Chains A and B, each alone.
Chain A
Amino acid sequence: MAELVGLTGNDAGAEALKDVNPDVVAVFPITPQTELMHKFSAYANDGVVETELIPVESEHSAQSACFGSAAAGARTATATSSQGLALMSEICYITASTRLPVVMPVVNRALSGPINIHCDHSDSMALRDAGWIQIFSENAQEVYDNTIQAFRIGEREDVLLPVMVCLDGFILSHTMEPVELLGPEAAQKFVGEYHPAFSLLDTDNPISIGPLHLTDYYFECKRQEVAAMENARHAVADVGREYGELTGRNYGIFEKYKLDDADVAIIALGSTCGTAKVAADQAREKGIKAGVLKLRMFRPFPGDEIAEIVNAVGTVAVMDRSISFGLRGGPLFNEVRSFVNGGCPQLVNYVYGLGGRDINATEIESIFAELVRIKKSGDTGELYRYIGLRE
């Protein structure tokens, strides 16, 4: 019987890192990620892990040190939030293009300005084209499980990409839930040893990392990154399946909640999916056949698979916890829409929860009710909407 303990999302991230016992971890504080690294630093300084900590002076240096460490062949991790992710964003692109599988929990927090410390997805969304795999978590258990799986996914030879494990700031990072842990032995057995093909420390086979690519090679380099991201689709699914065989907790590219007979559905990321499941149950009690598509893998984006579901359900609301100025609709909505147009579903977008604004089951139930109205009337009305906003 696996160990079951009460952990916050931050604790769960720290436990996962502890159980994997990476070679190198770069540490820098930012709310709400800070406690994840408090806990991990304590494990390092108590000798529970053998990890070399690099207590850097900024997130820019955190990602740079991770870049150097991973290029030297070490299994490497860090964690960040919001402004920290924005500051290191320059290097995040380089980590990905250099094909270094760094693992990074991102405790989602709104980007300034105005400054805010609470949850939305504007930070990781800003890096959706940086070449990182992005996996979202619904609860603390998923934070733990996703973080462990992230090493396997990123380090797979046909992938070799860095992985963000996204968890909602405060909502998950600071909320305690029961979490089942693998423990170090099983976790390390699952992730396996990391022996990359290339290392800066291999002086018998010296390599140059990060050379200038001009007009003759840059394009091909980016094309290879695309191929790696395509392979990541399978890696996320394969590793999730294997993890399910080990733990009984199966992970796919998304989770379908009561979608098989659904007339209406919402698509969301992160902790909101838990709320949405409750709202779907409540709506069903009132006779609305409601379902939820919980998207776990945002990068690579499983557009075709989503489109199949959206077209089958027919009337769907996409929930965006971030905003894309000047583009009508949030990023998730527009990406979903770009895949489903052929099926002509009724698709609306709700931007919600910016800067940590709460969203509750009653509000999501009202969305289901609105989707029923759209379905019946055939009139989608305004596609781009807000919920929980004073106007």
Chain B
Amino acid sequence: MAVSLKKMSKNPELLAAGHRSCGGCAAPAILRQTLHVAGPNTVIGFATGCMEVATTIYPYTAWKVPYVHCAFENSASTISGVEAAYRALKRRGRIPEDKKMNFIAFGGDGGTYDIGFQALSGALERGHNMLYICYDNNAYMNTGIQRSSVTPRGAATNTSPAGSVIRGKQQARKDLTACMVAHNIPYVAQASVSNHMDFMKKVGKALDIDGPAFINIMQPCYRGWRHKPEDSIEVARVGVETRYWPLFEVENGRWKVNYKPKEVVPVEEWFKLQGRFKHLLAEDKEGVIQWHQEQIEHAWSQLLKREAESKEEGQKEAE
């Protein structure tokens, strides 16, 4: 599916204005960009969370495409049921044979990495033709900024506060994208709300592919990350520049890094933009910042290695 901004500029918006997300929230951009690529023949499934609450307060809805929300942990299994119904009804001639539809489930990091992990894993294993997009803002933001399994080590949240004894989250983050790759599904990608063309191309690829696809997109939440509302996109951009959140894709097992920063930005510079790391910047006896930098270097070299291996495999195959 080709992504053309020019064409998109003429498309109607499928997410209406007037939804109730916070000013400066970057998440609605993800929804609008997704819908611009997917078009009207799309069913959207949502996990309970910020975007669910902000877009559908009865009797209003911001959605101009079919939308379904059931609960917190089951966005993937719910949309898998919709997709199964589509297949069943098509087989019975109740849906035209040539009508192609997209099935896209959304969840925040809490609804995806944590409570919805099992339902997501099951749906991917079953091979439904669906795309799952995790808008990852590093904590349970809808309930008021609680730690999730992807909250960075050291970051302060309301359930991992920067206390006088325990200073922020103690654990390393879960690498969900790697978990998704391990499901051997046709398409897995990491994206950032700062790189909209990259994200939309990925959505297009994911929807073109027959079978399950997963995209993990970083979305700074200024309430939880403690930065200025107008800096949401900039904070995401710097996060990509540090390589804390690399942009890459794994298509049929082949790894490709989509963006390689020319100049490496130290992770400390990214932390400086966010109040959730303020205590670490003031005092870091445990060397958490340094630990993050080492983790980034290690993960980046692994990523480049995988990309090189994939390239080699591709060349061998071509020969």
Contact = CB atoms under 8 A, between A and B. Distances in A.
A111 to B, nearest CB: 21
B77 A65 contact: yes
Contacts of B58: 211-214, 217
B85 A211 contact: no
B77 A64 contact: yes
Nearest to A221: B58
Given A56-B122, A213-B58, A61 B84 contact: no
Contact of A206 (B67, B69, B123, B126): B67
Contacts of A214: 57-58
Interface string B77-103: 111111111111101100100000100
Contacts of A213: 58
Given A203-B65, A203-B101, 9 more contacts: A50-B92, A52-B91, A64-B77, A68-B84, A72-B85, A74-B88, A207-B67, A208-B66, A212-B57
Contacts of A67: 70, 74, 78, 81
Contacts of B60: 211
B288 interface: no
A2 to B, nearest CB: 26
A60 B121 CA distance: 13
Interface string B33-57: 0000000111101100000110011
Contacts of A379: none
A50 B86 contact: no
Contacts of B63: 206, 208
B70 A68 contact: yes
Contacts of B32: none
Contact of A60 (B65, B77, B80): B77
B64 interface: yes
A4 interface: no
Ordered nearest first, which 10 A-B pairs have the shortest CB separation? Answer: A68-B81, A57-B122, A65-B81, A72-B85, A211-B56, A74-B85, A210-B69, A61-B77, A64-B74, A64-B77
B89 A23 contact: yes
Contacts, number: 170
Contacts of A74: 84-85, 88-89
B143 to A, nearest CB: 14
A330 to B, nearest CB: 30
The bracket for how many chain B residues form the interface is 35 or more
A323 interface: no
Interface of B: 40-43, 45-46, 52-53, 56-61, 63-71, 73-74, 77-89, 91-92, 95, 101, 118-119, 121-123, 125-126
Contacts of A65: 77-78, 80-81, 84
A57 B65 CA distance: 29
B78 A201 contact: no
B91 A94 contact: no
Contacts of A206: 40, 63-67
B70 A58 contact: no
Contact of A23 (B59, B61, B88, B121): B88
Contacts of A208: 56, 61, 63, 66-68
Interface string A72-96: 1110100000000000001100100
A60 B119 CA distance: 8
A54 B80 contact: yes
Contacts of A181: none
Contacts of B125: 57
A345 B285 CA distance: 77
25 contacts: A23-B89, A24-B88, A52-B88, A52-B91, A60-B73, A61-B80, A61-B119, A65-B77, A65-B84, A67-B74, A69-B81, A70-B85, A94-B71, A98-B70, A200-B43, A201-B43, A201-B85, A203-B41, A206-B63, A206-B65, A207-B67, A211-B56, A211-B59, A211-B60, A213-B58
Interface in A221-242: none
B212 to A, nearest CB: 14
Contacts of B59: 211, 217
A91 B85 contact: no
Contacts of A54: 80-81, 84, 126
Interface residues of A, number: 43
A92 B120 CA distance: 19
- Among B40, B53, B66, B95: residue with most chain A CB under 10 A: B66
A66 B85 CA distance: 9
Given A58-B118, A91-B70, A206-B64, A72 B57 contact: no
Contact of A94 (B52, B70, B87, B121): B70
B82 A69 contact: yes
A209 interface: yes
Contacts of A202: 66
Interface in A24-53: 24, 26, 50-52
A193 to B, nearest CB: 9
A220 to B, nearest CB: 10
- Among A50, A70, A72, A214: residue with most chain B CB under 10 A: A72
Contact of A91 (B71, B79, B126): B71
Contacts of B67: 200, 206-209
A71 interface: yes
- Among B65, B81, B88: residue with most chain A CB under 10 A: B81
A244 interface: no
A55 interface: yes
Nearest to B56: A211
Contacts of B73: 60
A202 B78 CA distance: 17
Interface string A89-107: 0110010001000000000
Given A57-B119, A58-B122, A73-B89, A68 B78 contact: yes
Given A201-B86, A207-B66, A209-B68, A57 B81 contact: no
- Among A24, A202, A210: residue with most chain B CB under 10 A: A210
- Among B43, B63, B71, B88: residue with most chain A CB under 10 A: B88
B77 to A, nearest CB: 4
Contacts of A69: 81-82, 84-85, 88
A318 B207 CA distance: 58
A240 to B, nearest CB: 28
- Among A23, A91, A98, A209: residue with most chain B CB under 10 A: A209
Interface string A346-375: 000000000000000000000000000000
A211 to B, nearest CB: 4
